[in-house]
């Protein structure tokens, strides 16, 4: 099992925080099903925000920012499964996660028509994604747009959103560690994703 089947991407700037810990549980669950995984903590990759130059339309990849995305593009292509998670920051994803999602733009294939239809280089390949979020407040409404902000762009890129996972009521760094139930649920969700990718 050499090929990475599931790439886990954590968008919290806080290392070893709740997003990080939950991501570990998803990936452990996936590995228990015999799938190779890799974890990415976005804060450790220098990723510039998209400058909207549209050069990727003709170049096929980002030819303007030579940064951490150059390492991540091939890994995203290789992994048929993607786990993307962000804590809620003001009803939305973190800046790190938004920047990462915007930089997925080179995976689109646009036409010259404006506004025009678009295709994705990642579509029709059986790609599946699990999206998750963690937040302080308990009511689901308090998560705002976070899950949609992750799942809608992934759907546009051709991923089936296999699971949407919400962890509400966790504020302090590592708070999820005290809740074996949520960690077990994350483990099982990761395992289920892996079994469905096989
Ligand atoms: C800048 C900032 C904005 C936040 N906004 C929200 C929010 O809108 N709703 C909420 O429930 N929690 C909010 N939180 C709390 C975090 O979502 C919560 O602490 C989460 O567990 C952090 O995850 P992490 O440990 O992976 O970084 C915010 C935290 C920060 C630092």
Per-residue pLDDT of the chain (198 residues; tens, 9 = 90+): 679 899 999 999 999 999 999 999 999 999 999 999 999 999 999 999 999 999 999 999 999 999 999 999 999 999 999 999 999 999 999 999 999 999 999 999 988 888 888 999 999 999 999 999 999 999 989 999 999 999 999 999 999 999 999 999 999 999 999 999 999 999 999 999 999 996
The pTM score is 0.97
CB of 38 closer than 8 Å to CB of 4: yes
pLDDT of res. 128: 98
Beta bridge partners of 130: 83, 163
CB of 150 closer than 8 Å to CB of 93: yes
Q: How far is the CA of 97 from the centre of ligand 1 (A)?
A: 14
| Structural domains in the chain, sorted by start | 6-197 (3.40.50.360)
Q: Which residues line ligand 1 (CB under 6 A)?
A: 12, 14, 17-20, 87-91, 134-137, 142, 170-171, 173
pLDDT of res. 4: 87
């Amino acid at each position: 099992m050499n090929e990475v089947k599931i790439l886990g991407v954590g968008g919290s700037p806080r290392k070893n925080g709740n997003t990080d810990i939950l991501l570990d549980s998803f990936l452990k669950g996936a590995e228990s099903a015999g799938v190779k995984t890799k974890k990415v903590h976005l804060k450790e990759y220098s990723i510039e925000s998209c400058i909207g130059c549209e050069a990727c339309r003709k170049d096929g990849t980002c030819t303007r920012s030579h940064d951490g995305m150059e390492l991540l593009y091939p890994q995203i292509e290789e992994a048929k499964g993607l786990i993307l998670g962000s804590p809620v920051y003001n009803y939305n994803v973190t800046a790190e996660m938004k920047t990462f999602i915007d930089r997925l733009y080179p995976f689109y294939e646009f036409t010259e028509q404006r506004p025009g239809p678009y295709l994705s280089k990642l579509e029709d390949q059986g790609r599946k994604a699990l999206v998750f979020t963690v937040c302080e407040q308990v009511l689901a409404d308090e998560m705002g747009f976070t899950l949609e902000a992750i799942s809608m762009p992934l759907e546009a890129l051709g991923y089936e959103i296999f699971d949407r996972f919400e962890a509400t009521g966790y504020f302090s760094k590592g708070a999820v560690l005290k809740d074996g139930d949520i960690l077990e649920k994350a483990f099982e969700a990761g395992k289920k994703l892996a079994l469905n990718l096989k």
